[in-house]
Structure formats: structure tokens, C-alpha cells
Chain A
């Protein structure tokens, strides 16, 4: 879901110089307890993902046939699933998939969004109109239907999930970047750079880009959470990560059917998703407030 006016607000240009902008933002972020909680969650998550093999007591795809469907206990902290796999280990390893999905998919969105945003905002004219109408269509089309359509064309698989989620997210980044460019484009220092003979590429990468990063960082952070949720939704529909890869979305989707008889199976992957998304959302909120305290 796009928060359009927030995007527009984010694009309003700051008067601070760049380094002080980031320094001030960090100072404000540090004082924001919720944002620090979010940051802590994200950092812990990354650590878990990196050190998954050290933390997980079992191989996440190894079955212990005799121990299927056990409730949480000493041997298996979070219990086991129907095939006798340790849910705790799967949740630990699942952090890798979630981070991959979040970061790679959003990365794709950012790259596509920046490219079209630059094209649209910097050159204007026909390309601007065409790109912005295209963005409108992407905003208009139900996100999940779009993801399904793309997954159907591309076929299942984790790389295709990155692509599907990535493609669908570009429009907001394009809008943010375009807005930034429009507000910066005619500033004196750009004129000066142009007068000194800088070409378009140089102006975009050296001058416009660094100055419009703040809103993009904020929005990207929030979108990581969205991507993780979309992955779960696709898994619920059977289009997600293919087994036996331990993905939280897949684990949640598979175990939801047993919600009335084995609630622990869905509880832990579900909580993992909620906490992780919460981490990114809180961090994103905090970053937004930090970059632009007016908006709070």
C-alpha cells in the first residue's frame, strides 16, 4: 500500500547541507526509542541470518521421521512439523530467505525506480508523461494480482519472487526520485555545474543523487517489511518459495491449516514475520522522523 502524500512529503527538499543532514538525522534517530528498537531487531535478525548454522541445533531440512508433529519441548524448542523437521532451526534459517527477499526485491525496485524516476524527472516531456502514467497503472493494479500474474509468466522459484516483488515496487521509488529531481533541478548549484560543463550523467550521479537519498532510504526500509509480507502471501497461495527451503511465509502457510490442532506450528514463523516486519517499519518510521522532524 502506498502512502502517496507521505511520498510527496518526503520529496520536499531539505535545506541542510548533506553531511549535517545525516548527522542530525542520526542524532534524532538515537533519541527515538521505537526506532532504536527497530534497528535492534534488524541488526539481531541480520546476525541470526549470518550465524544461522551456529545457532540452529538441527539441519533445517533434515527429517527426524519418528518425531513428527511434536509440540515445543526440551529437544525441540519450537516443536517439529508434520515431516519431523525442527521448527526452531527452520525459523532460524528462514531469516536468511526473508532478508534475501526483502533486500534483493527492494533493491530491484530501487534500481528500476531510480532509472525511470531519473528519466522522468530530469528529461521531462513525453518520457515523463509516459513513465508517470505507467506508474499510475502500477499503483492502480492490485499488488497481489500483479505478483500472481508475473509469477505465472515467470514460473515459480525464489529468483522469480525477487523479480515479481521488485518489478511491482518500482513506481513509488520513481515518484520519489522524480519529485526530488524536480525540486533540485533548477537550483543554483546545478546551474553552476551545468555551466562548468558537467553532463547529464554527471549531474544526476554527483549532484541530484546524493541529495535525494534520504527519502529513498526511508521508503526502502519500509518496503523491506512489505516485501516479506508479500512473500508470505504468495506462499499462502502456493506460489512462493519452493520446498524444502525454509521460508517463514511457506512455513506459516503450510501450518495454518493446523491452527486448531497444532497452533505452535504457525505461531513461531508467524511471530518471526511480525517481529521482523515490525523492526523494519519502526526503523523506517524513525528514519522518516529523523530526516524530517516536521512530519512528526
Chain B
């Protein structure tokens, strides 16, 4: 009797606590739900405690047998980290992007294998002779999941929304070449004048200057069509009610738990085979990997440090996906601040001191390859051996002496910033040891990602790691955002007016070969300035269950789940 009263007491406490929690959270709708949930939960816990043991095994058997009957269909479960948002206008990190790509389709797509730009919602397009005006002819019968047809106006709306100051999108700059962009950003205009819906199926885009790679940029998430009525209805909460035109429909985003998608049976293309896609949210990839091993995920990342063990594993070895990724890992030195300011020799010393091969082999277990330049292989225009710096501690020591710090004498310990988690600590420690060998002391400062970016940007920390992955597979994407003095992604304070000029010039160059040559030249100039110590080109380390068929991964880590089926 005593125990029952105590449990009753706890249930009461639970209810009241839940009440208080939700009332103060001001979410009146959630109050009832939370209370009932809490009661149910508490009651269940007590009741089920007894039954749990008997029930559990029975459940497992049922789970394993059921899907075997249906060959097509099934649920595809993928590890992701909690995305910041799923709103295409603001999907700036890989987590939100991979979900949005399954839910939305844009004018053009990147082929998973070749990364060629192929038409999607746009059937075809014309480009004016001066390269300024693009006219897109849209497919008919492409509908949003809400049932309404996707029309040219939806693109015009979405792109305007992307560039408006009030949206405060990190991605707006992708639309920078379009006429009216500056006005929208400054808040002086409320429409992006360069984008016009001539009729429901014709979209006209006018650029400020000829941008030869423009079409190739349009596969980016930020150009996805958004229905105005959805934004009007949900406002701040739009990200939890995204309504796209892709092969999968968005169902629910349970924060820090999962994001659910189901097959869109009214898809304009070929319908997907999977019934559902479940993005399972984990705090870190190690936990996800354990879940994969336990058979609870179809696709996940292999955590740093476990690649070799996985490849050598009899069961898992054959499931590993390893391929080069269009991304670069680098250490940036802020040339506006001491000790790097006006000290090329010091920056070169750092460049020569880093044992890139060791980092790639030991920490990254051979998944990545030492960087040879900014532009990774796989991007058209890639040049072999663009960078002259190799691992040579002797030269590094000489350079350090040249820099005025023989043997590191007189040089204060340099703060090095990383974002915590994701395995950057080990790389930082390896680099720290490398620099220690030539006499430079490094103090590693771990920060949360957003905070870290802020500290890099305001110059609080002058030496830090960053990575850059391709938004679209062109050279410009590795050079313009990182090194143009006015680009907001230029965290290192790198200013070279010659480079600025050349970057703009290259964009305007219509001829592919000529343009590539210009970009190669720019890359060389930047490398000579040594404001960066390039480390490696990323490699993809992923793993997929053996019964997953039709799954392909691009060098940009994109995948298209509409072609995937499960065979088990």
C-alpha cells in the first residue's frame, strides 16, 4: 500500500511539474498533450515494468519478420545531427540540406555520378547573347505536396524571400549576381526585380553582369521553390511545415529525435520505391555508428578513428563507402592581425611545418588526401601540385628564423581556434605537435561552431581551422566566397585587390577554358600569399547496409533516395 501511495504521489508531482513547465513555456495547446503524456508515461512505467521483460523479445521477432514480405518499400533510416532549419532559404549546413534535397526539386539538378547539371523542374532554358538574361521554361504538372501546381511565381517569390533583409538568410549571397539583390539586402526594395514570372511556366532572370557558371549554381538548396501561402500561414515555424515538390513528403520534425518523410505518390517524376525515410537525430556520430552496427540504421557516417577497424571488419568491410569529397580542410591565418600580419615568412614556416600526410594517414586513416591546392580534384579545372609547400621541418625552421623568431624565440604562444566535437581536436593536437617541433607554441581553444565563427570573424582569434565544401561543382565556388575581400565567408581577412579584380573578371569570361585558366592563376596567387595552411581534401567515410540497393553518393555527398529500394 505504501509503495502505491508513493507512486501516486510521484505521478501527481509529474503532472504538476509538467503543467508548470508547459504553462511557462506559454504553449497552451501543448499543456493538455504534455499532461496526458506525462500521466500515461508514469502509469505505463509502473504497469509495464512487470510486463516489459516478457513483451520485449516478442516484439523484436515481429519486427524482423514483417518487412521481409514486401520487397519494395520499407523505411530508410539515416543518421543526422539536429539541423538548424529545414527552410531552404536558410539551409546552410549539410544536415538541413540533405533533408531538403529529398523534399524539394529545383530548376536543375546535379547528376549524382557526373555532377553535370541536368534539367529538373525546368524543361529547358534560353540565354541571351550578352549572357545577362536567362529564360526558363518550366515543366507542367509539377505540384507541391499540398496539391497546388508549382508555377514560375513560386520561384520568383522564393528568390525574393531569400534575398530580403528581413529573412536574414546566410545563403542570400548565392543570388548576388541577380539584378535587385543589393536593394533587397539593404532593405530598400521588397521584390527581387531581376526575377520575373512571365507566365505560370516561364521564368525570366536578369543578371547584373554576365556570370558564365550561373546555371551551375542553380542546383543549390536556396533556390528551391517555396509556396507563399505556407510562409504566410506558419511564419517562424515554416521550417517545421515545409511543403516541397520532391519525391518525398515532409511529415514531422520531432526536435532532437527524428524527421519523417513519406513517399510522394503524385511525384512529377518516377515515384520513389521507399515508403518512408526517417532521419534519426543523434548527438554524435559515434552513437549513430553503434546503432548502425546494431542494425537500426541503413546509412550513417563512420566516426573518425574507426575507418580502418571497419574496413578490416569481416561483416562491415564490404559496406564502407570511401571516396574523395569536393571539400578542403585548412588552417587560416588572419593577415590583418599579429603575429601573421606582414610576416609572409612566418606563414610559410607554418605551411612547411605541417605533416599533412601524417594527419591523413594516422588521424583520418587514409580517407583524406593531402591538399595540393584550394580546388579539389573532381572540380573541372583542378590543377595538380598548385601548392609548393610540402612537409619539411628544416625549411620551416629556416623560415621561422627569417620571420624573426629563430627557434620560436620571441614568439608568444599562438591561440588556435577550433569548433569542438567532430574530431577536430586530434588534428589540432597533431598540428600543435608539428609546430612545437619547429619551436612554435600553440594553445588550442575549443568553441561551439557559431561562437567560433564569430571569434574568427571579429579577429579575436587569428589562427583557426575551417573547412569548405562545394555548394556547386565549379572552381569559382572555392575561390570567390573565400578570398574576395567583400565576401562574408572570407574569415581570414585576406585582401588582395588584384585577386578581387581577377575573380570578377573570371566570372564574366564566357569561354570555359579561358575561365578555368583565370581561376588557376588566381589560385596560384593566393597560394603564394600563404594566408592559409591547406591540410587535406576531405574524403567521404560512410557506410550503408548490404540490403540497400540503388544507393549512390556524389562527391558532394548528395544522394537521391527516390532511386533506392531495400532488398531483405
A–B contact via C-beta, under 8 angstroms: yes
Interface residues of A (CB under 8 A from B): 61, 63, 65, 68, 82-84, 155-156, 237-239, 242-244, 254, 257-258, 260-261
Pick out which of these stretches binds chain A: B165-173, B232-240, B257-265, B439-447: B439-447
Evaluate contact between B306 and A242: CB separation under 8 angstroms.
no
Q: Report B338-353 CB contacts with A as 1/0, cut-off 8 Å.
A: 0000000000000000
- Given A65-B358, A261-B309: A242 and B420 interface contact (C-beta under 8 Å): no
Evaluate contact between A258 and B306: CB separation under 8 angstroms.
yes
Q: Closest CB-CB distance, B371 to chain A, in whole Å?
A: 20
Q: Which residues of A contact B432 (CB under 8 A)?
A: 243-244
Q: Which residues of A contact B429 (CB under 8 A)?
A: 83, 243-244
- Is B303 part of the contact surface with A, judged by Cβ < 8 Å? yes
User: CA separation between A261 and B426, bound complex, in Å?
Assistant: 17
User: CA separation between A81 and B547, bound complex, in Å?
Assistant: 35
- Is B362 part of the contact surface with A, judged by Cβ < 8 Å? yes
Q: Which residues of B contact A244 (CB under 8 A)?
A: 429, 432-433
User: CA separation between A242 and B413, bound complex, in Å?
Assistant: 13
- Is B375 part of the contact surface with A, judged by Cβ < 8 Å? no
**Which 8 residue pairs spanning A and B have beta carbons closest together?**
A238-B420, A261-B309, A243-B429, A257-B286, A238-B446, A68-B362, A242-B444, A63-B433
Closest to A155 in B: B445
User: CA separation between A260 and B436, bound complex, in Å?
Assistant: 32
Q: How many A-B residue pairs have CB under 8 A?
A: 56
Closest to B304 in A: A257
Q: Which residues of A contact B363 (CB under 8 A)?
A: 82-83
- Is B162 part of the contact surface with A, judged by Cβ < 8 Å? no
- Is B231 part of the contact surface with A, judged by Cβ < 8 Å? no
Q: Which residues of A contact B303 (CB under 8 A)?
A: 257
Q: Is the interface of A mostly helix, strand, loop or mixed?
A: loop
- Is B430 part of the contact surface with A, judged by Cβ < 8 Å? yes
User: CA separation between A84 and B355, bound complex, in Å?
Assistant: 14
Closest to B426 in A: A82
- Is B380 part of the contact surface with A, judged by Cβ < 8 Å? no
Q: Indicate which residue in A65, A242, A258, A261 contacts B446 across the interface (CB closer than 8 Å).
A: A242
Q: Indicate which residue in B305, B355, B358, B425 contacts A243 across the interface (CB closer than 8 Å).
A: B425
Q: Which residues of A contact B430 (CB under 8 A)?
A: 63, 83
User: CA separation between A63 and B363, bound complex, in Å?
Assistant: 13
Closest to B287 in A: A257
* 6 residue pairs from A and B, CB less than 8 Å apart: A61-B436, A242-B443, A243-B429, A257-B286, A261-B305, A261-B309
Closest to B451 in A: A152
Q: Closest CB-CB distance, A254 to chain B, in whole Å?
A: 7
Q: Report B277-317 CB contacts with A as 1/0, cut-off 8 Å.
A: 00000000010001001000000000111100100000000
Q: Indicate which residue in A82, A237, A242 contacts B305 across the interface (CB closer than 8 Å).
A: A82
Q: Closest CB-CB distance, A261 to chain B, in whole Å?
A: 4
Closest to B430 in A: A83
Evaluate contact between A242 and B445: CB separation under 8 angstroms.
yes
Q: Which residues of B contact A258 (CB under 8 A)?
A: 305-306
- Is B207 part of the contact surface with A, judged by Cβ < 8 Å? no
Kindly identify, within residues 407 to 436 of chain B, every residue whose CB is under 8 Å from any CB belonging to chain A: 420-421, 425-426, 428-430, 432-433, 436
- Given A244-B432, A258-B305: A239 and B362 interface contact (C-beta under 8 Å): no
User: CA separation between A68 and B363, bound complex, in Å?
Assistant: 9
Between A155, A239, A242, A258, the greatest number of chain B beta carbons within 10 A of the residue's beta carbon is seen for: A242
Q: Indicate which residue in B304, B306, B446 contacts A156 across the interface (CB closer than 8 Å).
A: B446
Evaluate contact between B425 and A254: CB separation under 8 angstroms.
yes
How many positions in chain B have a CB within 8 Å of any CB in the partner chain? Answer: 26
User: CA separation between A243 and B421, bound complex, in Å?
Assistant: 14
Evaluate contact between A83 and B362: CB separation under 8 angstroms.
yes
Q: Which residues of B contact A243 (CB under 8 A)?
A: 425, 428-429, 432, 444
- Given A238-B425, A257-B286: A61 and B445 interface contact (C-beta under 8 Å): no
User: CA separation between A257 and B287, bound complex, in Å?
Assistant: 9
Q: Indicate which residue in B420, B421, B428, B433 contacts A61 across the interface (CB closer than 8 Å).
A: B433
List 20 other contacts, CB 8 Å, given A83-B433, A243-B425.
A61-B433, A65-B362, A82-B305, A82-B362, A82-B363, A238-B425, A238-B446, A239-B420, A239-B446, A242-B444, A242-B446, A243-B432, A243-B444, A244-B432, A254-B425, A257-B286, A257-B306, A258-B306, A261-B305, A261-B309
User: CA separation between A68 and B362, bound complex, in Å?
Assistant: 7
Q: Closest CB-CB distance, B159 to chain A, in whole Å?
A: 38
Q: Which residues of A contact B420 (CB under 8 A)?
A: 237-239
- Given A68-B362, A238-B425, A244-B433: A257 and B443 interface contact (C-beta under 8 Å): no
User: CA separation between A156 and B309, bound complex, in Å?
Assistant: 33
Q: Which residues of B contact A84 (CB under 8 A)?
A: 362
Q: Closest CB-CB distance, A263 to chain B, in whole Å?
A: 12
Kindly identify, within residues 185 to 203 of chain B, every residue whose CB is under 8 Å from any CB belonging to chain A: none
User: CA separation between A83 and B432, bound complex, in Å?
Assistant: 11
Evaluate contact between A261 and B362: CB separation under 8 angstroms.
no
User: CA separation between A104 and B420, bound complex, in Å?
Assistant: 26
User: CA separation between A35 and B237, bound complex, in Å?
Assistant: 59
Q: Indicate which residue in B304, B426, B444, B446 contacts A83 across the interface (CB closer than 8 Å).
A: B426
Q: Which residues of B contact A261 (CB under 8 A)?
A: 305-306, 309
Evaluate contact between B290 and A260: CB separation under 8 angstroms.
yes
Between A65, A257, A260, the greatest number of chain B beta carbons within 10 A of the residue's beta carbon is seen for: A257
Between A82, A84, A239, the greatest number of chain B beta carbons within 10 A of the residue's beta carbon is seen for: A82
Q: Which residues of A contact B286 (CB under 8 A)?
A: 257
Kindly identify, within residues 307 to 343 of chain B, every residue whose CB is under 8 Å from any CB belonging to chain A: 309
User: CA separation between A177 and B303, bound complex, in Å?
Assistant: 50
Q: Which residues of B contact A63 (CB under 8 A)?
A: 430, 433
Q: Which residues of B contact A237 (CB under 8 A)?
A: 420
Closest to B286 in A: A257
Evaluate contact between B425 and A156: CB separation under 8 angstroms.
no
Closest to B425 in A: A243
Q: Closest CB-CB distance, B33 to chain A, in whole Å?
A: 26
User: CA separation between A84 and B362, bound complex, in Å?
Assistant: 9
User: CA separation between A282 and B231, bound complex, in Å?
Assistant: 62
Q: Which residues of A contact B436 (CB under 8 A)?
A: 61
Q: Which residues of A contact B358 (CB under 8 A)?
A: 65
Q: Closest CB-CB distance, A185 to chain B, in whole Å?
A: 39
User: CA separation between A290 and B293, bound complex, in Å?
Assistant: 51
User: CA separation between A245 and B433, bound complex, in Å?
Assistant: 12
Q: Report B545-565 CB contacts with A as 1/0, cut-off 8 Å.
A: 000000000000000000000
Q: Which residues of B contact A65 (CB under 8 A)?
A: 355, 358, 362
User: CA separation between A237 and B305, bound complex, in Å?
Assistant: 19
User: CA separation between A238 and B286, bound complex, in Å?
Assistant: 15
Q: Report B439-460 CB contacts with A as 1/0, cut-off 8 Å.
A: 0000111100000000000000
Q: Which residues of A contact B446 (CB under 8 A)?
A: 156, 238-239, 242
Q: Closest CB-CB distance, A174 to chain B, in whole Å?
A: 29
Q: Closest CB-CB distance, A229 to chain B, in whole Å?
A: 20
Q: Closest CB-CB distance, B333 to chain A, in whole Å?
A: 20
